[in-house]
Amino acid sequence: MFDRFKFQRKSSNWHRVFPADQEFLRKLVAAAVERTHHSVRYVSDYVHIPYPGGDVPANTGVCTDEVIRSYRAVGIDLQKEVHEDMLRNFNAYPHGRQRGPDSNIDHRRVPNLMVFFARMHNIGRGPRMEDVLFDWKIIEHYS
């Protein structure tokens, strides 16, 4: 779902712009609000889950599972997106003793999501709509 472009800022103002419009944000917020109507018991266990599209049991999870479920409701599989980014850029992520990406758990870890969203979006300035498309040189495309 994410258009995977690497961007290089042409000017000296370095920031990334989230490539979504207001309709996407409206749907994501609605999906997050909808998640508040579910009863979910806090369970932080390591669980083997299918890939892609895997999830822990619907009545269990941690805070990140609710974020993951909200994104999945609008067509974005954070399990897949984070795993693929970690395959390409493992050293950009905090991993301690972990030797390689693990699609069962990596997307469920807050520090990994923080790195993922910082690498993909304009963290620090919040979502905003700006007319800066041509301020960025597209240097790579991932399909």
pLDDT of 9 reads 43
Count of beta carbons in the 10 Å neighbourhood of residue 52? 13
Burial class (CB in 10 A: 0-12, 13-18, 19+), 62: middle
In this predicted structure, the answer to whether residue 127 has a pLDDT above a threshold of 50 is: no
Domain count, the chain: 1
Q: Which residues, including other chains, have CB under 8 Å from residue 33's CB and lie 6 or more apart?
A: none
Instruction: Identify which has the larger pLDDT, 17 or 74.
Output: 74
Model pLDDT for residues 56-86, shown as the tens digit of each residue: 999 999 999 999 999 999 999 999 999 999 9
Contact 78, 98 (CB under 8 A): no
Of residues 8 and 115, more confidence is placed in 115
The pLDDT value recorded for residue 118 is 80
Identify whether 15 is part of a domain. no
- What pLDDT score was predicted for residue 136? 59
Domain residues for 24? 4-10+20-142
What is residue 138's predicted lDDT score, i.e. its pLDDT?
Answer: 63
141 compared with 47, residue with greater pLDDT: 47
Residue with more model confidence, 34 or 134 = 34
**Residue partners of 55: CB distance under 8 A and separation at least 6:** 49, 65, 68, 69, 72, 79
Residue 136 lies in a domain: yes
70 vs 29: CA distance, rounded Å? 8
Instruction: Give me the pLDDT at residue 140, please.
Output: 54
**Average pLDDT for residues 108-116, to the nearest whole number?**
92
Report field, pTM of the whole predicted structure over 0.85:
no
pLDDT at 141 over 80: no
pLDDT band per the 50, 70, 90 thresholds, residue 119: confident
Q: For residue 90, is it within any domain?
A: yes
